Structure 1
Amino acid sequence: MRFNLLLIIITFVSFGAIAQSNPKESEEYKLNKAVYLQAKKYNDIGVAKNALYKLIVLDPNDASLLDSLVLMYFDYNQHAPSLLVSMDILKRDPGNLVALEISATSYENLQLYDKALTAYESLYLRNNNLYTMYKISFLQFNLKRYSESKTSADIILKNEKAEEFKIVFNPDRNTSEEVTMKAAVLNLKGLIAKQEGNKEEARKLFTEAVADGNPFTFAQQNLASLDEN
């Protein structure tokens, strides 16, 4: 009888310990979660971020909290912290495509082009996405790796979806233009040809980039620039 009573006491204590070890059950966690949700509702990012950090400290094993934090930084163009958080996510989950894309974009915005290229190449191996390949080609161009950039561009042009896939350019802060991936790649190849000193090939490529009649300010400017020199 005494043994059974002892067993019951031990069982209750064990269940109590499990309940106590669940951070989501604590009053502090519930309070900070309520603050976080309310601040998000009112778009008070500073308060929301502070509450989210407290939740991460209280429950460091909840991967979704880091996901929320990296998206918050990324949405507000805070590239350095978004990069650092995405790196922590990738340590825990190397296959996290969102974190990998954010890390690549953050490296690019921080002008760390070598690292951005490596991140985009890793991303492409996982998502086989045309836009990712375009970023690879463009970064190779920025790094003056023109032969590699042309090879990447040709991979895109061989894909039949290049004429359907759209990409948005912003000629200025108040204007956006949507062009086909094919036009964007032809413009990029034109820039490569220009850098290599092949003016007539560049002219041909820029002309093809604007041949569909859609506004493409960058390609038009690049074409006009050939006659300025």
Structure 2
Amino acid sequence: MNKTILLLALCLSFGTFTFAQQDNTATQDPESLRRRNESDQRVYQLAMRYNDLPVARIKLMELIERNPTNNRYPELLATLYFEAGQYASAAVASLDLLERNDQSITGLEIAAYSLEQLGALDRALPNFERHYLLTGTLFSLYKSAFLQYSLNREEEALNSVNMLIKDRKSTEDLVGFPTSNNETQEVNMKAAALNLKGMIYMGQKNKAEAVEAFRQAIESAPNFELAQENLKEAQKM
């Protein structure tokens, strides 16, 4: 098993344990709680200013423990882990956040990308799907389609791709692809979806549909290098 996925599983299992708190915040008066929160927030802000991430994370954990109904603190903690490339921690933090608030856009986004980075595609997919349903973000729909394709869920992938192609915003929103000279080429989302559609048909050994999809992708983005290469491969089938 991949070590990072094993670490994630261990973190998730350990996360079910609860430990006795030394001070009971429920018995604190509101003014004392406010002062402690403000103090920790100031330390957090200073730690962020000085790029002292361990201190920032500790203060966020203390704020989370003391303010269990405030979702802003776990969102910040998950973001810190993700931006530091600590994807296992980011995944656990975001999944904990989603248990508290399954409508958290930040939680869904970080969970989706972190789990994808860890190779847990089947767990990343529903978070991308839900992120799209809540936000209408076409890139989340494209990621959903690509993960469905990667997981051999071809009919679902085709459905997502067709939804994307039909969306009027797909000709405006852009997505980047690597080129042969190690640069990034931006093409419109419709072209990207048509290219993915061609890849799905190639996997199904459907040459005619694959060729047509790649041609449409190039028509939508004439300099789309990846679609041009895929078209050449499809024509050889």
TM-score (structure 2 length as normaliser): 0.76
Query: Which AA in structure 2 matches 1:44?
Result: D
1:25-46 CA-to-partner distances (Å, cap 9, x unmatched) read 13xx555433321221122323
Structure 2: which amino acid aligns with 1:152? S
Residue equivalent to 2:9: none
Local SS of the residue matching 1:187: helix
- Of the three residues 60, 70, 95, the one matched with 1:62 is 70
1:56 and 1:207 mapped to 2: Cα distance? 52
**Corresponding position of 1:218:** 226
What is the rounded CA distance, in whole Å, between the counterparts of 1:24 and 1:175 in structure 2?
Answer: 50
Higher deviation after alignment, 66-75 or 121-130: 121-130
Q: 1:209 to 1:19 in 2, by over 3 A?
A: closer
Report if aligned partners of 2:44, 2:59 keep a CA contact under 8 Å in 1.
yes
1:126-165 Cα shifts (integer Å, max 9, x gaps):
2233222212211111111112211221111122221112
Runs of 4+ in 1 over 6 A off after TM superposition: none
| Deviation digits for residues 34-67 of structure 1 (CA, Å, limit 9, x no counterpart) | 3321221122323322332333344444322111
Write the distance in 1 (CA, Å) between the matches of 2:226 and 2:55: 40
Residue correspondence of structure 1 range 143-158 to structure 2 within 5 A: 143-158=151-166
In the alignment, the residues of structure 1 paired with residue 223 and residue 56 of structure 2 have an alpha-carbon distance, to the nearest angstrom, of: 41
In the aligned structure 2, how far is the partner of 1:109 from the partner of 1:41? Answer: 28
SS of structure 2 residue aligned to 1:178 = strand
CA-CA distance at 1:81 after TM superposition: 1.3
Distance 2:156 2:30 in 1: 57
Question: Could you say if the C-alpha distance between residues 59 and 146 of structure 1 is closer, same or farther in structure 2, counting changes exceeding 3 Å?
Answer: closer
Match of 1:7 in 2: none
1:23–1:59 contact (8 Å) kept in structure 2: no
For the pair 1:24 / 2:34, whether they are aligned, the reply is yes
Could you say if the C-alpha distance between residues 170 and 78 of structure 1 is closer, same or farther in structure 2, counting changes exceeding 3 Å? farther
> Is the Cα contact below 8 Å between 2:145 and 2:161 reproduced in 1?
yes
Q: CA deviation at 1:68?
A: 0.9
Q: Give the distance between the partners of 1:176 and 1:46, measured in 2 at CA.
A: 34
Show the 5 A alignment for 1:1-229. 18-19=29-30, 22-26=32-36, 30-171=38-179, 175-212=183-220, 215-226=223-234
Whether contact under 8 Å (2:188, 2:221) holds in the other structure is no
Greater Rg over alpha carbons, structure: 1
Count how many residue pairs are aligned between Structure 1 and Structure 2.
211
TM-score normalised according to structure 1 size = 0.79
Asked if 2 retains the 8 angstrom alpha-carbon contact of 1:187 and 1:205, the reply is yes
Give the alignment's Cα RMSD to 1 decimal. Answer: 2.7
Cα separation, 1, equivalents of 2:39 and 2:94: 26
Answer 1 or 2: higher relative contact order, Cα 8 Å, separation at least 6: 2
Q: Is the 8 A contact 2:191 2:221 kept in 1?
A: no
Identity of aligned residues (%): 34
